[in-house]
Amino acid sequence: MTQDWGKRTKLVHQGARRSQYGEVAEAIYLTQGFVYPSAEAAEARFVETGADEFIYARYGNPTVAVFEERIAALEGTEDAFATASGMAAVSGALSAMLRAGDHVVSARALFGSCLYILEEILARYGVEITLVDGTDLDQWRAAVRPGTKAVFLETVSNPTLEVIDLKSVAEIAHGVGAQVVVDNVFATPVFSRATELGADVIIYSATKHIDGQGRALGGVICGTREFIRNTVEPYMKHTGGALSPFNAWIMLNGLTTIDLRVRAQAASAQAIAEALQGDPRLARVIYPGLPDHPQHAIAKTQMGGFGTVLSLDLKSGKEAAFRLLNALNVAVISNNLGDARTIVTHPATTTHQRLPEDQKIALGITPGLIRMSVGLEDVADLIADIRAGLDMI
């Protein structure tokens, strides 16, 4: 009905439903259950749940449904299922589609918990996992086979910001009938072109840019109506990873401004990367928007922008990295990303601490690496803050 709206219009209006009071802002339906007008009506609803009919908040809720409709319209998928966190979305999507004996090929550079789900949990249930270097298409070609049920990747990896050629990986995967599942957090719903490039299932941690203000956990799985309603929904409704109506309302408010926020944050990230490039204390400034980024050309064609995160690799290692982090006055030390506040992390000692030393090196997580999620502050203040910090090393 509203298919030809632009993204920003969808972000403000898509899926809105008003109660008899005609409220302007979305209502929070903070209710676990729903009253049926009669026993017959209850029976009928359990036989078939119609549009805008609900049974129990673990299955669905009016506020959550508005969020699902809005994000699906934004991503260009037929449907979406909202979850309690990004990890509930990743584990839900994969567990719902896979069974013992299936084979999955995944990029090696993954968010730690995603790697845990593949290597520790799914492997325990008889799913075979092959890890590849996501930027090497020959490795994807060599790894897929007729029994490959899914390929899994982060379109831009954390924290070294490698960009994977999604269109080519999708062609390789579809050649053997495998589904393409992407964890699209770093691309953001604003810059994502995952649907047109061939992704079948697109997952977001809503905790990041969708909330955008560091308040609530949430996640979402986007895909075809058949996949969402017949594969994901039965799994999620019986295992209990539903998004709360209150958090759905927070995410809806986040979506209203996400286009403005992410574009402003990406512009600042680009400006910071350019300002710091060539600094003698830095071995590398990693940002997909810099022409010297190894996958700059791919990033340019497959994303509407280069993202809100950059990484800095300090020549003098951990000690220098800690000095810089401790000297910053505007940016805060934390491990979230996509927040309105600029957030800095030392991956080697925090988010990726668990990894063995050789794997850290293989993934480019050096002792001097700092990940910076750029916020909404004045970019001149951020650059001055980082420059003053570098002078303290």
Binding residue for ligand PLP, selected from 63, 91, 95, 158, defined by CB under 6 A = 158
Name the region of 275 (left: φ>0; alpha: ψ -120 to 50; beta: rest): alpha
CA-wise closest residue to 340 among 374, 384, 386 = 374
Applying CB under 6 A, does 311 fall inside the site for ligand PLP? Answer: no
Q: Are 225 and 197 in contact (CB under 8 A)?
A: no
Applying CB under 6 A, does 93 fall inside the site for ligand PLP? Answer: no
Angle between helices 379-391 and 317-327 (to 10 degrees): 130
Hunting for tokens 């994977």 — which residue is that?
A: 164
Minimum Å gap between C-beta 181 and ligand PLP is: 12
Minimum Å gap between C-beta 328 and ligand PLP is: 21
Applying CB under 6 A, does 313 fall inside the site for ligand PLP? Answer: no
Exposure letters 311-344 (e unless 16+ CB within 10 A, then b): bbbbeeeeebbbebbebbebbeeeeebbbbbbbb
Applying CB under 6 A, does 372 fall inside the site for ligand PLP? Answer: no
Applying CB under 6 A, does 85 fall inside the site for ligand PLP? Answer: yes
User: Among residue numbers 187 through 206, which ones bind ligand PLP (CB under 6 A)?
Assistant: 205
Applying CB under 6 A, does 87 fall inside the site for ligand PLP? Answer: yes
Binding residue for ligand PLP, selected from 96, 107, 187, 217, defined by CB under 6 A = 217
Alpha helices in the chain (DSSP H): 7-13, 39-47, 62-75, 86-97, 112-116, 123-124, 137-143, 166-175, 188-191, 194-197, 225-227, 233-239, 245-276, 296-302, 317-327, 357-362, 379-391
Alpha-carbon span 135 to 50, nearest angstrom: 44
Minimum Å gap between C-beta 378 and ligand PLP is: 26
Give the other-Cβ count within 10 Å of 286's Cβ. Answer: 23
Binding residue for ligand PLP, selected from 29, 54, 67, 111, defined by CB under 6 A = 111
Q: For ligand PLP, which stretch binds (CB under 6 A), given 40-48, 80-88, 276-284, 305-313? A: 80-88
User: Among residue numbers 285 through 304, which ones bind ligand PLP (CB under 6 A)?
Assistant: none
Q: Are 214 and 194 in contact (CB under 8 A)?
A: no
Angle between helices 62-75 and 245-276 (to 10 degrees): 30
Q: Are 371 and 259 in contact (CB under 8 A)?
A: no
CB nearer ligand PLP, residue 157 or residue 320: 157
Minimum Å gap between C-beta 184 and ligand PLP is: 8
Q: Are 187 and 307 in contact (CB under 8 A)?
A: yes
Applying CB under 6 A, does 183 fall inside the site for ligand PLP? Answer: yes
Binders of ligand PLP: how many residues, by CB under 6 A? 15
CB nearer ligand PLP, residue 127 or residue 185: 185
Q: For ligand PLP, which stretch binds (CB under 6 A), given 79-87, 131-139, 280-288, 340-348? A: 79-87
Applying CB under 6 A, does 152 fall inside the site for ligand PLP? Answer: no
Applying CB under 6 A, does 86 fall inside the site for ligand PLP? Answer: yes
Applying CB under 6 A, does 185 fall inside the site for ligand PLP? Answer: yes
Question: Applying CB under 6 A, which residues contact ligand PLP?
Answer: 85-87, 90, 111, 114, 154, 158, 183, 185, 205, 207-208, 217, 219
